[in-house]
Amino acid sequence: MKISIIGSGNVGVAAALYLIEKKVADVVLIDIVKNWAEGIAMDIVHVSPIRKYDVHINGYSDFSKIKDSDVVIVTAGKPRLPGMSREDLLRDNIKIMKQVSEYVAKYAPNAVLITVSNPLDILAYVALKVTGFALKKVIGMAGILDSSRFRYFIASELGVSPKNVTALVLGGHGDLMVPLPRYSTVHGIPVTELLSKSKIEELVERTRKAGGEIVSYLKTGSAYWSPGCSAAEMAECVVRDKRRIVPCSAYLRGEYGIDGLFVGVPIQIGKNGVEEIIELALTTEEKEALHFSAGKVKGTIEKLEAEKLI
């Protein structure tokens, strides 16, 4: 099996490292900066005797090397800097995603495409349109990361192992994400039974701003371990046909009453990409929050289409 990662910045390299540590597949790192991916790959290869890697890792600036990949992860794009919103990155990153998508369509037409670059829900849409891939083959990475952060905050608050906590965060990847406490559990027990409403609200708020919190500490960059790990987890689910149920940004066609958009929802992820979209029995309030979040994504896309940017 072969996984290609386009963009060998911090997120791409973190994803590569998780994939190699778990021996998920051979990894190809790509970066347009000449020799950059090659250097990173070489650095990681040198670790193999210590960490006992027996999968292959190679780096190139030549996109044709992604040929016949089973999964392509796109992390290429400019990252957020302090004071920037994910939307600020829009114009530059659309250009990058268009270019990358053309290469993916050309060299890895059978791959499942996982997009990580921000703004997530918009760029996943761009990737789908440019590649012309089947709808289930393009998935955006957001929900796993957002819910992982929510899970971590819940576990810390309760003083329990993060392993025991599950969470679902839906909607667009941004300040309007929709964490669902009712579906967030500790060993199957909904957190709503274990934490007060105000405490949950506090953790929800921290989750929404968690990416920004890290940017404010790092100053010259944004989070990369948790996004890299989340993308690697998705790639593993595809390569090993794990059929896990996880929140991801998927193209909806009427599910949840949303049509023609990428929005974070629980999906079953397996060898074909999106195996199934799971429709939850949401309350009116939860549904409204999801629609409000999706409305924001829709507004941006309509604006971009009017400007002929996508």
Partner 1 sequence: MEKVSIIGSGNVGVATAFYLAEKGIANIMLVDIVEGKAKGSALDLSEAAPVRGYDVKIEGSSDFKNIKGSKVVVITAGKVRKPNTLRYELLEENVKLIDPIFEEIKKYAPKAIVVVLTEPITAMTYYAWKKSGLDRKKIIGVAGKLDVTRVCEYAAEELKVSPIDVTALVLGGHHKFMVIPPEFIRVSGIPITELLPEEKIKKLINSAREAGTTILSLLKKQTSTYSPGAAVAETVGAIVNDTKAIMSVSTCLEGEYGFKNTCLGVPVIISKKGIEKIIDIELSLEIKEELKASADVINKTIESLGI
Q: What residues act catalytically?
A: 173
Instruction: Output phi, psi for 251, to 5 deg.
Output: -75, 120
Q: By C-beta, is 128 or 168 nearer to partner 1?
A: 168
- Is residue 234 within 8 A of residue 24, CB to CB? The reply is no
**How far is Cα 57 from Cα 190, in angstroms, rounded to an integer?**
41
- Is residue 114 within 8 A of residue 71, CB to CB? The reply is yes
Binding-residue pattern over the window 157 to 176 for partner 1, x denoting contact by CB under 8 A: --xxx-xx-xxx--------
| Smallest separation, CB 283 to partner 1 (Å) | 13
Binding-residue pattern over the window 215 to 254 for partner 1, x denoting contact by CB under 8 A: ----------------------x----xxxxxx-------
Q: By C-beta, is 175 or 275 nearer to partner 1?
A: 275
Q: Which residues 43-62 are close enough to bind partner 1 by CB under 8 A?
A: 52
Q: How many residues bind partner 1 (CB under 8 A)?
A: 31
| Smallest separation, CB 135 to partner 1 (Å) | 21
**How far is Cα 254 from Cα 48, in angstroms, rounded to an integer?**
47
**How far is Cα 1 from Cα 72, in angstroms, rounded to an integer?**
12
Q: By C-beta, is 103 or 150 nearer to partner 1?
A: 150
C-alpha to C-alpha distances, 143 to 23, 113, 263, nearest whole angstrom: 24, 16, 9
Of 99, 268, 304, 309, the one binding partner 1 by CB under 8 A = 268
User: Residue 162 gets which letter from DSSP?
Assistant: G
Q: By C-beta, is 21 or 88 nearer to partner 1?
A: 21
**Does residue 22 interact with partner 1 by CB under 8 A?**
no
**How far is Cα 236 from Cα 16, in angstroms, rounded to an integer?**
11
C-alpha to C-alpha distances, 220 to 34, 87, 224, 291, nearest whole angstrom: 23, 18, 12, 34
Q: Which residues 171-200 are close enough to bind partner 1 by CB under 8 A?
A: 180, 183-189, 193-194
- DSSP three-state, residue 272: coil
| Smallest separation, CB 249 to partner 1 (Å) | 16
Give me the residues that bind partner 1 (CB under 8 A), please.
52, 159-161, 163-164, 166-168, 180, 183-189, 193-194, 237, 242-247, 266, 268, 278, 280-281
